[in-house]
Structure 1
Amino acid sequence: MTPEKFTEAAEQFLARRVPGTKAYSLADTLKPLTIEEALAVQQEIIKLRPDVVAGWKCLLPLAEDKLIIAPIFSETMQKGDQCWLMKDNTKVRIEPEIAFVLSKDLPARDEEYSEAEIDQAIGSCHMALELIQSRFADDSDAVFPERLADCLVNQGLYIGPEIDKTTAFSASKFHIFISQTEQSGELSEQKFDGVHPNPLPQLPVYWAINFMTKRGTTFKQGEALTTGSFAGVVELNFDKKTYIEYAGIGKFDVIFKELV
């Protein structure tokens, strides 16, 4: 792919970030087929957006050709008693996660950052919800690099209450309770045996920072890194008070509002 093709692919992916999108694979001339091409398209998306990178989603690589890293943009980062997002197949779709927020810059460099240096740069840890929007049709034949270029179903991030840093760093397993108030006043509850996909939730932060800083990316103070769902994708309803608890860690409530 040429630089012009990276830009054109990025423009098409950005045009899909609207309600109701269920698209098919890009034209063959625009389709990223390698990890390097996917990351190049992501960089073009960063350049084309009117806002700035405010966070990253990451996970330890699933395989050499399946890296999990994607920017999250400032206009899609939220907190507070309401969370606005686009519906996906009529539902709110979220992933319960832990986010690590930087209190200092970590500039791009060739030398790896030590875990201790990164730990020192993490200023706070938070309950977080990755906001999910699958922009490819269910029967799309899009290959992994194309999905990576499109930022891996991310549509934003909700930052919840701060949690104890030591607790966050050891939170590999915990029970999750998510309930919504029905019109009758009763609660409908979903329960999960929460397990992080990696041994510890901070491990993807170490990998992502060293992978990206060696590629020229500077991580900035205030950016949040979210590192994988403890319960897969959870489907909920709009306009209902939603109670979310990570047992022994923290809890909060929020109302999901549809972004149209």
Structure 2
Amino acid sequence: MTGLREQQLIEAANLLLNARRNASPIAELPAELQPTTLDEAYFVQDAMAEAYETIGGWKVGAPTPEATPIFAPMPLAWIAPAGSVLSGKTWRYRGLEAEIAFLLGKDLPPRATPYTREEALAAIASCHPVIEILEAGLADPSAANRFSMIADMQMHGGFVYGPAFAGWESVDFTQEHVTLAVDGSIRVDRTGSNTSGDFLKLIPWLANEGASRTGGLKAGQWITTGSWTGNTLATATSDVDVRFGTVGRVTLTFA
């Protein structure tokens, strides 16, 4: 990547950051600033993440079981426990996704020999129901260039986690049921609906394929593994309640 191209992508990151901070979304990045490859989109993500300082984890997922996963950093400042009240002008889009996330108990540093599935899953300390909040500097991310949407932190805007569930290793996730309710009304009701299919494969994938970018996964980081419910929009005063049949419940409120 040339120096000029790096400067263009840094400018793209700054435009998206300003749009988020000021709640003044843009329709699209200027044509010359739009990422044209996944690597360029990741460059913008990483530039934006630096502005939010410490990384608290990673979101990783795939739109289908056959697709190559994509991932994005989750700033530590955006991570909060269940029952949190989210307020302020940065909550504009208020997209919601019910997910299952894992808290790492051991480091998975980069290494020449790929981690096996068993090694990667053994690094997990706990399993949790979570809500990922989607936000964007783009007014309508679905109408923007796909690489622009990915560059914009892959729409990551927040992460609220519920209590740990013991015994997750024995859960048949193909039969796991989930509901997502907004203001007491169930908006999504699905079973075995993670878009990646076997979503546990995302942990070793991130440890191996993502290592050059993550610098290795670290104890205390969260890994959230993709949507079970699609994108559901809330309002400025919504109560949100996600319930997994086995893994548990997580709530939040916008105010």
Question: Normalization by structure 1: what TM-score?
Answer: 0.82
**RMSD across aligned positions (CA):** 2.8
Give the match for residue 32 of structure 1. 35
2:8, 2:246 → 1: CA distance? 49
Letter in 2 for 1:43: D
Deviation at 1:193, TM superposition (A): 1.3
Specify which structure has the higher proportion of helix. Answer: 2
Matched with 2:153 is: 151
User: How has the CA–CA distance of structure 1 residues 27 and 100 changed in structure 2, closer, same or farther, with 3 Å as cutoff?
Assistant: same
2:221 partner letter: E
Match runs of 1:65-76 below 5 Å: 67-76=69-78
The verdict on how the C-alpha distance between 1:41 and 1:109 changes in structure 2, with shifts beyond 3 A counting, is farther
Deviation (angstroms), 1:42: 1.9
The aligned amino acid for 1:131 is: I
1:152 match: secondary structure: helix
Deviation at 1:179, TM superposition (A): 4.0
Task: Write 1 or 2 for the structure with the bigger share of strand.
Answer: 1
Counterpart of 2:8?
A: 5
Q: CA deviation at 1:25?
A: 2.0
Which amino acid letter does the alignment assign opposite residue 193 of structure 1? R
Distance 1:5 1:14 in 2: 14
Alpha-carbon separation, structure 2, partners of 1:59 and 1:26: 24
Given the two structures, how large is their TM-score scaled by the length of structure 2?
0.84
Shift of 1:206: 1.9
The 1:62–1:5 alpha-carbon spacing in structure 2 relative to 1, beyond 3 Å, is: farther
Give ranges in structure 1 of 5+ residues lacking alignment. Answer: 182-186
Partner of 1:232: 230
Structure 2 residue matching 1:221: 3-state secondary structure: coil
- Assess if the C-alpha contact under 8 Å between 2:179 and 2:190 holds in 1: no
Report the residue type matching 1:23 in the other structure: I
For residues 114 and 50 of structure 1, what CA distance do their matches in structure 2 show? 32
2:132 pairs, out of 130, 133, 151, with 130
Aligned length: 249
Question: Which of 27, 46, 51 is the equivalent residue of 2:49?
Answer: 46
Q: Which runs of 5+ in 2 are unaligned?
A: none
User: Alpha-carbon deviation of 1:238?
Assistant: 4.6
Report % sequence identity. 25
Q: Which of residues 188, 196, 207 in structure 2 aligns to 1:198?
A: 196
Amino acid at match of 1:13: L
AA aligned opposite 1:4: Q
Tell me: CA distance 1:116–1:150, structure 2 relative to 1, closer, same or farther (3 Å): same
Decide whether the 8 Å contact of 2:131 with 2:160 is kept in 1.
yes
Output one character per residue of 1:82-126: Cα deviation in whole Å (capped at 9) or x when no partner. 24164445xx42100000111111112343111111111111110
Q: What is the deviation of 1:21?
A: 3.7
Q: Kindly report which structure 2 residues correspond to 1:44-193, keeping only aligned pairs within 5 A, or say none.
A: 44-47=47-50, 49-60=51-62, 67-84=69-86, 86-88=90-92, 92-138=94-140, 142-166=144-168, 170-179=172-181, 187-193=184-190
